[in-house]
Structure formats: structure tokens, C-alpha cells
């Protein structure tokens, strides 16, 4: 197993992104500050220019000497920062107007964003006699093109400088993170990857020199402790279990094979139809797990589920089955097919704390219709006390999952058990194939199950229906849904779809 995306690349990308965003914000703030400062400077320079011509211009306006006033305005051209000068009367009429430079176009959004052009207004008063009211107003406007050039120059300079700074910071921070975190984690990953099956049991990781008390050190300490607990638990089971345990190497081989098969998509769901034996119509299907074998065939090894439960990988395997089933249901429902799909649930999965929330997330993600996904719980699964079982199954029903009791009659279920659990939200009973196989010669158990289901108003599915005689006897006793080789064995999804769902 190889790393497809290096942690170094990820953290460098993250650090670089944060640095670039931060610097861009800083550039914007600083640019507004610089432009505002340039606006203030231009305004101050124009005020100084205005004060040098204020008195002679006032006299020319007072005497209505237009040529003199125009001469004074044109004398402002060497100032260099002005684009326009004009004299405006108090009533708003423009008396004189002078353009110093042809106005170059500046983008509209720049004009609006930075409040351009910069403009000042200076009142002109008469000298003798003193008059408190201004004779006119001198309006000076700065050249916006100069400000625009300053903005472009400032942006290019800051972007170049700050992006270089961002690059230096990103490389520096990434190097530090790589030394402190990525390199120790990479060493741990390599050591675990290179472990042989014999070395994996009871393996201990060395504690890095500079990570004795931080999170990496705690991770390694917890790993070593868990490895010790697993080794001691296995030794205890090996001495106390009446079932001959697998060797350590064999257990690890099985666990590795299952996880590797999941990663390499060597598992698949085959579907066995559930038929209305009166009409021959398809009313449901059961998803059955199959694994690709070395010769290319698909089957389920007898010990696979048991050993998966012993090794603790049944959770990963079961979650894959749940998600694959939801994908099938979602595809059916997109095509307008409302067929329910049954999935087997192991006893260990029943006690998994996050099972209900995981199923709820799948149902919401794939938008599965309520009741379409049916979990088959074997009668021998130790659900727990009636209160615990009621709470668990009610939570499943609440999120839209139906419940069927599988292999009914094979475990501890009896009349007393049913009396305790009659409040459970179970909607279907499945008669074990061993009882159906005895028909029609020995029909005692099937009649009892059918009678119990009738009293409790539960649907009944007969497993292992292989002959027409079995089918006819079941129909007479009120059992209408059958599943078995009389109708079909389990089929790959594509073949099942082609045979039973031609409209899709």
C-alpha cells in the first residue's frame, strides 16, 4: 500500500494557501492606505498652488478682467499635477475653464473604488473693500491618470515582494512542520508497512527522541499498549477457548486477505429473489456476500464471516455490505423500482455503538425510501435484554429500516421468548431452510411458525424452497413468499437485473 498524496504536499499547499490569502488581504489594506495618503498629498499640493494665485485671481475676477484671469489659470500648468482648473460663480455658473492635459481614460471601478478624481474648492474674496461673501470659487482637479499609475505601480511592487515573502514563509513553515510531524509519521508508516505477519503480533514502536510527551509520543504509547493488550487477550483466549484457535499467522493472513479484498474490490453482492408463490411475481430480494476466488469464481468461504468476527474486521466488511446495498436501492429507486432489499446483520454489528448513525447517514446520502432496506437479524443473535432490544430496533425503525427475524426456530426463540419480545418492531419472519426441507413429510415446525406469524400479523418468508410440493404445501398453510432454488439461486447484480427487472 503506497501513499497516494503525501502529507508534505498537503501541508505545504495548506500553508501556502493561508499565506497567500493573508498577504492578499494585507495588500488590499495597505493599498487603500497608500492611495488615501496620495490623495491627501495631492490635495495639499493643490491648496498650496491655489494660495499662490488666490489674490491676483480675485482682483482679476473683481475687475472682470477675463484675459488676466485666463492668464493666471494657465500659469498653473507647470504644477504638473493638475488636469483642470475653473472659476465658478456663487450661483454655480462656470465663469472660466482650463484643461491642462488631455484626460486619459481610467477604469470606472478604479474611479469609484478610490473616489477619484481628487478635487478641491478655494473661495476667492475681494481685497477692498472687505466683503465676507466670496466673489467666486477656484476649483482645481488633480490628474487621475497619475493616481492610477501609482496604484498599478504599488500593486505590482507589493504583489512581487509579498508573494516572494509568502514563498519564503511557506517553505520555512513547511520545513519545520515536516521535521516535527511529517518525518516521524512517515518513519512510523514505513516501519508498519514493512512488518511481516510474524512480526505484527505484539509489535512495539520505538519512541522518537523529541516526541516523548507530545501527541505523537502519546499515539505511539497507546499503540504499544494496545498491542500488548491484544497479545495478552489472544494468549488468554488460546488457553481458555474450547474451539481450537487459529495460529497467529493464520489469523493475520485472514485479516489481511479480507481487508485486501475490500480494497481491491474482490467482494460483491449477489441477489436471490423472493417470489410471491401465488403469482410468481418478484416481491423482494436478499443480498448475499460473495468473494472472488483464485480461479475466478465467486463464492463465500464457510469460515469467512466467523473469522471476520473473531478478527474484528466484520465491522469494515459489514459497512461495505450496507453501503453497496444502499447503492443498489438508490439505483432501483431512480428507475422507479420500489423493491425491498434484505441484508444480513451479524450479532457483533448489533452491538456496534455507531451502527445506527452509520445507517442513518447512508439512508440520507442515498435517499433510500423508508422500509426499502431490511435487516435480517438471526434468532440466535444475542440482542440483549428486552428493553435494550426494543430501544435498538426502535432506533432502526425510526431511521427507516425494516427488521426481519431470520432462521426462525433455530435458536432460543420459543413462546416465552415471543411473549417477551412481541413489542419489538419486527415485520417479517423467515422460516429456516431446514424446516422447509422436511416438507411435506414433517410439517410440525412450519405449521407452528406460520401459526405464530398469523397471530402476530407478521409476513412469513420460506427459505430453501426447492420443490413444487414444498411450494404447494406452504401456499395451503398461508405462506405466500418463497425463496430458494425452485425459483433461482443467488445471481450477480447484472444477471438479476436482466432476468427480473427488464423494464430498467
| Local confidence band at 444 (pLDDT 50, 70, 90 cut-offs) | confident
**Is it the case that residue 497 has pLDDT exceeding 70?**
yes
Q: Which residues pair with 123 in a beta bridge?
A: 137
pLDDT at res. 275: 94
Query: Is residue 344 domain-shared with residue 414, that is, in the same domain?
Result: yes
Separation CA 443–CA 436 (nearest Å): 8
Euclidean distance between the first and the last CA atom of the chain, given in angstroms as a whole number: 39
Query: For residue 244, how many C-alpha atoms fall within 13 Å in the half-sphere facing its CB?
Result: 2
Average of per-residue pLDDT across 262-271: 88
| Local confidence band at 1 (pLDDT 50, 70, 90 cut-offs) | very low
**Is it the case that residue 248 has pLDDT exceeding 70?**
no
Residue 174 counted as domain residue? no
pLDDT at res. 235: 62
**Is it the case that residue 73 has pLDDT exceeding 80?**
yes
CATH (domain of 374): 3.20.20.450
Residue 293 counted as domain residue? yes
| Local confidence band at 324 (pLDDT 50, 70, 90 cut-offs) | very high
Residue 160 counted as domain residue? no
Separation CA 26–CA 18 (nearest Å): 12
Query: Is residue 234 domain-shared with residue 297, that is, in the same domain?
Result: no
Query: Is residue 276 domain-shared with residue 294, that is, in the same domain?
Result: yes
pLDDT at res. 229: 73
pLDDT at res. 242: 47
Cell of 218: 502519546
| Local confidence band at 66 (pLDDT 50, 70, 90 cut-offs) | confident
pLDDT per residue over 96-121, tens digit each?
888 776 667 888 888 888 888 888 88
| Local confidence band at 504 (pLDDT 50, 70, 90 cut-offs) | very low
Query: Is residue 223 domain-shared with residue 256, that is, in the same domain?
Result: no
**Is it the case that residue 283 has pLDDT exceeding 90?**
yes
Q: Which of 143, 165, 173, 145 is nearest to 27 (CA)?
A: 165
**Is it the case that residue 37 has pLDDT exceeding 70?**
yes
Percent of the chain scored above 70 by pLDDT?
Answer: 83
Which class for 503: exposed (0-12), middle (13-18), buried (19 or more C-beta within 10 A)? Answer: exposed
**Is it the case that residue 381 has pLDDT exceeding 60?**
no
- Higher model confidence: residue 29 or residue 171? 29
Average of per-residue pLDDT across 273-282: 93
Query: Is residue 271 domain-shared with residue 349, that is, in the same domain?
Result: yes
pLDDT at res. 493: 92
Query: Is residue 371 domain-shared with residue 476, that is, in the same domain?
Result: yes
Query: Is residue 377 domain-shared with residue 283, that is, in the same domain?
Result: yes
- Higher model confidence: residue 164 or residue 186? 164
| Local confidence band at 489 (pLDDT 50, 70, 90 cut-offs) | very high
Query: Is residue 134 domain-shared with residue 274, that is, in the same domain?
Result: no
Q: End of a domain among 103, 129, 154?
A: 154
| Local confidence band at 174 (pLDDT 50, 70, 90 cut-offs) | confident
Residue 281 counted as domain residue? yes
Q: Which residues pair with 342 in a beta bridge?
A: 286, 374
Query: Is residue 319 domain-shared with residue 291, that is, in the same domain?
Result: yes
Domain that holds residue 222: 197-240
**Is it the case that residue 195 has pLDDT exceeding 80?**
no
Separation CA 372–CA 370 (nearest Å): 6
HEC states along 441-497? Answer: CCCHHHHHHHHHHHHCCCEEEEECCCCHHHHHHHHHCCCCEEECCCCCCCEEHHHHH
Q: End of a domain among 154, 171, 205?
A: 154
Q: End of a domain among 177, 209, 240?
A: 240
pLDDT per residue over 399-410, tens digit each?
999 988 887 666
Residue 183 counted as domain residue? no
- Higher model confidence: residue 310 or residue 52? 52
Query: Is residue 455 domain-shared with residue 349, that is, in the same domain?
Result: yes
Separation CA 355–CA 359 (nearest Å): 6
**Is it the case that residue 239 has pLDDT exceeding 80?**
no
**Is it the case that residue 129 has pLDDT exceeding 70?**
no
**Is it the case that residue 46 has pLDDT exceeding 90?**
no
Query: Is residue 225 domain-shared with residue 262, that is, in the same domain?
Result: no
**Is it the case that residue 350 has pLDDT exceeding 70?**
yes
Poorest-pLDDT segment among 179-188, 280-289, 494-503: 179-188
Cell of 148: 492610477
Poorest-pLDDT segment among 35-44, 164-173, 369-378, 450-459: 450-459
**Is it the case that residue 251 has pLDDT exceeding 80?**
no
Percent of the chain scored above 90 by pLDDT?
Answer: 17
Residues contacting residue 56 through CB under 8 Å, at least 6 positions apart: 68, 72
Query: Is residue 345 domain-shared with residue 457, that is, in the same domain?
Result: yes
pLDDT at res. 286: 94
Residue 176 counted as domain residue? no
Number of domains in the chain: 3
Q: Which residues pair with 491 in a beta bridge?
A: 271
Residue 99 counted as domain residue? yes
Residue 376 counted as domain residue? yes
Amino acid at each position: 500500500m503506497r501513499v497516494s498524496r503525501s502529507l508534505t504536499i498537503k501541508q505545504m499547499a495548506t500553508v501556502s494557501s493561508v499565506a497567500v490569502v493573508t498577504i492578499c488581504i494585507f495588500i488590499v489594506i495597505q493599498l487603500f492606505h497608500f492611495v488615501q495618503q496620495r490623495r491627501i498629498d495631492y490635495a495639499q499640493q493643490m491648496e498650496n498652488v491655489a494660495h499662490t494665485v488666490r489674490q491676483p485671481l480675485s482682483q482679476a475676477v473683481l475687475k472682470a478682467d477675463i484675459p488676466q484671469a485666463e492668464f493666471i489659470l494657465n500659469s498653473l500648468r507647470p504644477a504638473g499635477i493638475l488636469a483642470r482648473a475653473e472659476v465658478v460663480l456663487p450661483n454655480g455658473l462656470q465663469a472660466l475653464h482650463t484643461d491642462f492635459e488631455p484626460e486619459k481614460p481610467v477604469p470606472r471601478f478604479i474611479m469609484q473604488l478610490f473616489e477619484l478624481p481628487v478635487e478641491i474648492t478655494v473661495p476667492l474674496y475681494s481685497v477692498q473693500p472687505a466683503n465676507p461673501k466670496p466673489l467666486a470659487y477656484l476649483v482645481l482637479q488633480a490628474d487621475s491618470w497619475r493616481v492610477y499609475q501609482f496604484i498599478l505601480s504599488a500593486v505590482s511592487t507589493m504583489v512581487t515582494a509579498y508573494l516572494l515573502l509568502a514563498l519564503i514563509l511557506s517553505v520555512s513553515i513547511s520545513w519545520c512542520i515536516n521535521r516535527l510531524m511529517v518525518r516521524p509519521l512517515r518513519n512510523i508508516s514505513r516501519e508498519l508497512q514493512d512488518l511481516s505477519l510474524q512480526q505484527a503480533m505484539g509489535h512495539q514502536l520505538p519512541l522518537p527522541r523529541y516526541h516523548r510527551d507530545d501527541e505523537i509520543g502519546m499515539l505511539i504509547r497507546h499503540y504499544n499498549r494496545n498491542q500488548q493488550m491484544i497479545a495478552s487477550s489472544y494468549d488468554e483466549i488460546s488457553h481458555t477457548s474450547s474451539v481450537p484457535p487459529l495460529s497467529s499467522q493464520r489469523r493475520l493472513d485472514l485479516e489481511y486477505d479480507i481487508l485486501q479484498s475490500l480494497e481491491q474490490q474482490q467482494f460483491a453482492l449477489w441477489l436471490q429473489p423472493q417470489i410471491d408463490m401465488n403469482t410468481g411475481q418478484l416481491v423482494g430480494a436478499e443480498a448475499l456476500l460473495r468473494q472472488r476466488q483464485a480461479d475466478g469464481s465467486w463464492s463465500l468461504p464457510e469460515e469467512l464471516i466467523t473469522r471476520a468476527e473473531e478478527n474484528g474486521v466484520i465491522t469494515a466488511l459489514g459497512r461495505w455490505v450496507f453501503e453497496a446495498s444502499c447503492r443498489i436501492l438508490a439505483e432501483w429507486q431512480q428507475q422507479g423500482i420500489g423493491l425491498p432489499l434484505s441484508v444480513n446483520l451479524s450479532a457483533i454489528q448489533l452491538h456496534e455503538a455507531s451502527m445506527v448513525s452509520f445507517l442513518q447517514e447512508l439512508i440520507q446520502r442515498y435517499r433510500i425510501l423508508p422500509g426499502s432496506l431490511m435487516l435480517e437479524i438471526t434468532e440466535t443473535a444475542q440482542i440483549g435484554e428486552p428493553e435494550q432490544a426494543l430501544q435498538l430496533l426502535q432506533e432502526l425503525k425510526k431511521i427507516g429500516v425494516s427488521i426481519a427475524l431470520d432462521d426462525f426456530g433455530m435458536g432460543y426463540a420459543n413462546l416465552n421468548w415471543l411473549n417477551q419480545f412481541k413489542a419489538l418492531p419486527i415485520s417479517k419472519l423467515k422460516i429456516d431452510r431446514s424446516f422447509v426441507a422436511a416438507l411435506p413429510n414433517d410439517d410440525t415446525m412450519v405449521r407452528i411458525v406460520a401459526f405464530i406469524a398469523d397471530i402476530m400479523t407478521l409476513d412469513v418468508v420460506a427459505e430453501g424452497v426447492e420443490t413444487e410440493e414444498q411450494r404447494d404445501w406452504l401456499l395451503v398453510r398461508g405462506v405466500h413468499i418463497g425463496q430458494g432454488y425452485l425459483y433461482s439461486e443467488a445471481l450477480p447484480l447484472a444477471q438479476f437485473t436482466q432476468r427480473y427487472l427488464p423494464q430498467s
